[in-house]
Copies of this chain bind each other. A is one copy, B any other.
Amino acid sequence: MQIAVLTFEGFNELDSFVAAGILNRMKTAGWAAHITSPSARVTSMNGVTVESQKPLEFAEEADAVLIGSGMLTRDIAADETLLSRIRLDPSRQLIGAQCSGTLLLAKLGLVGDLPACTDLTTRPWVIEAGVKVVDRPFIAHGNVATAGGCLASQYLAAWMIARGRSLQAAQAALHYVAPVGEKAVYVERAMAAVSPFLRSDLTASAENA
């Protein structure tokens, strides 16, 4: 699985790197999560400049795409030229959006009438974009998932691994990153968040196919 972690100017480091770090635990299985950006370099909301690993157009060929979050998402959502560079296809890709990434997901027409998650700050703008926001950390419909709150990015990663590989692989990846002495609790809570969406997801994606 090649995964594009969409990371824009003003990005929130937690939203891109927690998910990417967990997904890259699957390296030995041939997975790779790539920081994917509109330009060669992007600078975070806290002034950290990172070099992009893939151009934005990579999203189209990736097996899975995570849309990160940041403090400039409203500007990005209004930038038609930039949005037109992001071509996603939920019939063949797993797609996740984190926090304000849900706003971009909505602008790309991938939310529709279904309830979605986002963070408390972005919430009013996502609602304004016509999305039904739910107060939970994670939700998935078929191949499209959304998460709200920076650290809920672990659930997006867990869902992607469970869907792309196995529940056991997702548990192992989360076990590794969880705090020592709290690993069982973390794995259990993540599984509680994503498990309800695994069987129905598989059904829904089969229907979409």
Contacts and interface: CB of A to CB of B under 8 A. Distances in A.
B135 A180 contact: yes
Interface residues of A, number: 49
Contacts of A41: 51
Contact of A150 (B155, B177, B193): B177
A155 B179 CA distance: 9
Contacts of A189: 182
Of residues A17, A33, A35, A152, which shows the largest number of chain B Cβ atoms within 10 Å of its Cβ?
Answer: A17
Given A46-B33, A154-B151, A136 B180 contact: yes
Given A46-B20, A50-B50, A151 B179 contact: yes
A119 B178 CA distance: 10
Interface in A125-148: 135-138, 147-148
A120 to B, nearest CB: 7
A83 to B, nearest CB: 25
A73 to B, nearest CB: 16
A12 interface: yes
A166 interface: no
Interface of A: 12-14, 17-18, 20-22, 24, 27, 32-33, 35, 41, 45-51, 53, 117-120, 135-138, 147-152, 154-155, 176-183, 186, 189, 193
Given A13-B20, A14-B18, A149 B182 contact: yes
Q: What 5 A-B pairs are tightest by C-beta distance, nearest first?
A: A137-B179, A152-B179, A148-B180, A149-B179, A13-B17
Contacts of A186: 151
7 contacts: A20-B46, A35-B48, A41-B51, A48-B51, A49-B50, A149-B182, A151-B177
A41 B50 CA distance: 9
Contact of A137 (B24, B120, B181): B181
